[in-house]
Amino acid sequence: MSSSGPAIFDDDLACDVRDLYRKSLLDRVPDAEATRQSIEGWAELGPDEEPVLWLALAAAQFEVGRLDEHVRDRAIEVIDSGRDLVRWHEAGPEFAAERAAVLAALREQLTGPQPKRRTLRRPWREVTDLEAGMVLAWTASDGTVALLRVVQRRDDGFDHSVRPVLQRLAWTGRDVPPAEVLAGLPAVADDGAWRPEDGGGAHHRPGVYSPFRLKKRDPDWRDVGLTVCGHVPARVGDEGEWSLGIAGLMWSALPYYLELAVVGRPPD
């Protein structure tokens, strides 16, 4: 079994059923269509797994006050027939007894008063307002200005946040250079530790960062002293794969590493 315990959502398949259903609700799909999509999405389940679909979908709908009558009836049929308990009896009588108690509680929920309908809202995700080509300036404790070019905006893929990839430019002045100089500044020199052919090992690309926020109230680039000071044209390689060797860190930590890189020591 793919279950870690007797609870409805201790089961991997049950969690997948709930996730698919909740995704439809987050996409503002009407209730009936969300139910249809959830059922059709698992049309290929075998007879051993099919009971999990109805139990999980009914429980997921109950949680948000949207229990469909057809789904409720199918879940109650699964409970009353004992079909779901077959696999639990195979695991042992104590496991079957625990699962039976869970199913009895679920049946009581499904046939009792329903909770108030609840609207799901997507969790906050970061979408940076920085655009590729922007150059950010930051001033170290000794007055040296560090310049960071926005190479690209990168979709995290995991939570669909969009975060910038920053590359430090080779500049050690105390003022932002004129636009014509800024446009020609190369990236900081490679220290030899980063080797793309082997994924970089434990090393990071020199001077490349991908700052992020975990929560909306976390500091952003403006809050840590960065300002937009110019724009440079796209360069060869900007559209390549930058996921390997990037130093991922929160915006609040970026000044520490810039101070270390520019001044040669951590900030006081």
pLDDT at 199: 45
Could you tell me which of 125, 117, 113 has the C-alpha nearest to residue 30? 117
Q: Phi, psi at residue 156, to the nearest 5°?
A: -60, -35
> d(Cα 78, Cα 59) in Å, to the nearest integer?
13
> d(Cα 169, Cα 189) in Å, to the nearest integer?
9
Contact between 224 and 255 (Cβ < 8 Å): yes
pTM above 0.75, yes or no: no
pLDDT at 197: 47
Q: Phi, psi at residue 79, to the nearest 5°?
A: -65, -50
pLDDT digits (tens, 9 = 90+) for 235-264: 988 888 887 777 789 999 999 999 998 888
pLDDT digits (tens, 9 = 90+) for 101-150: 999 999 999 999 999 999 988 888 889 999 999 999 999 999 999 999 99
> d(Cα 135, Cα 179) in Å, to the nearest integer?
11
Give CA angle at 11 (7, 16), nearest 5°: 125
For the chain, percent helix, then strand, then coil, each to nearest 5? 40, 15, 45
> d(Cα 62, Cα 22) in Å, to the nearest integer?
12
Which residue type, as a one-letter code, is found at position 134? M
The answer, yes or no, to whether residue 192 has pLDDT greater than 50, is: no
> d(Cα 124, Cα 216) in Å, to the nearest integer?
7
Name the average pLDDT for the chain: 88
Q: Grade residue 202 by pLDDT with cuts at 50, 70 and 90.
A: very low
Domain residue limits, the chain: 8-111, 134-263
CA distances from 260 to 16, 143, 208, 257 (A): 45, 14, 14, 5
